[in-house]
Amino acid sequence: MKTKTSKSLTNTHAELILDNVADGVFTVDENLVITYFNKAAEKITGMPRENVLGEYCFDVLRSNICETECPIRFSLETGQDVIDKRENILRIDGKKIPITISAAIVKDNKGNMIGGVETFRDLSKIEALEKEIH
């Protein structure tokens, strides 16, 4: 039987792991409100975590797909994952950042959907190398 302490340590451990991956990771509730935002997400978007928690993801990522082809909304509505969708986001400083996006739903321990998770990878260096080659 898990205690509150072990569950708390597990949550802290999970946050430590997510804060040390190179890809941006954020979670939303069923209404697309951001509930978690890792350090890589802060770096890629230029937005500090404390400014985005509680905000709608489409207000933070500012991408042209947010209105029509939102990956996380698609996952929440269909239950299907989105894998490596290429797109651009607009950083807080106005710089366009090429990314790949993956999204999936998050379920509680009873199998009920409680939100979604999206990961995104900055492709700026890859695109710069591709331009050098061509």
Domain boundary assignment for the chain: 4-133
| Residue 126, C-beta contacts closer than 8 angstroms, at least 6 positions apart | 98
pLDDT greater at residue 130 or residue 120 = 120
- Work out the angle at residue 101's Cα, subtended by the Cα atoms of residues 96 and 106, and round it to the nearest 5 degrees: 135
Instruction: Give the pLDDT of residue 13.
Output: 84
Answer yes or no: is pLDDT of 5 > 60.
no
Instruction: Give the pLDDT of residue 74.
Output: 95
In whole angstroms, give the CA distance from residue 85 to residue 102. 7
In whole angstroms, give the CA distance from residue 128 to residue 18. 27
Altogether, the residues listed in the chain come to a count of 134
Give the dihedral of Cα atoms 55, 60, 63, 64; nearest 10 deg.
40
- pLDDT-based confidence at 10, cuts 50/70/90? low
- pLDDT-based confidence at 3, cuts 50/70/90? very low
Instruction: Give the pLDDT of residue 6.
Output: 46
3-state secondary structure of 100: strand
CATH architecture of 4-133: 2-Layer Sandwich (3.30)
Q: What confidence tens digit (pLDDT) does each residue in 79-120 have? A: 999 999 999 998 889 899 999 999 999 999 999 999 999 999
Instruction: Give the pLDDT of residue 111.
Output: 94
Instruction: Give the pLDDT of residue 131.
Output: 82
- What share of the chain has pLDDT > 70, as a percent? 93
3-state secondary structure 48-87: CHHHHCCCEHHHHHCCCCCCCCCHHHHHHHHCCCEEEEEE
What pTM did the predictor assign?
0.84
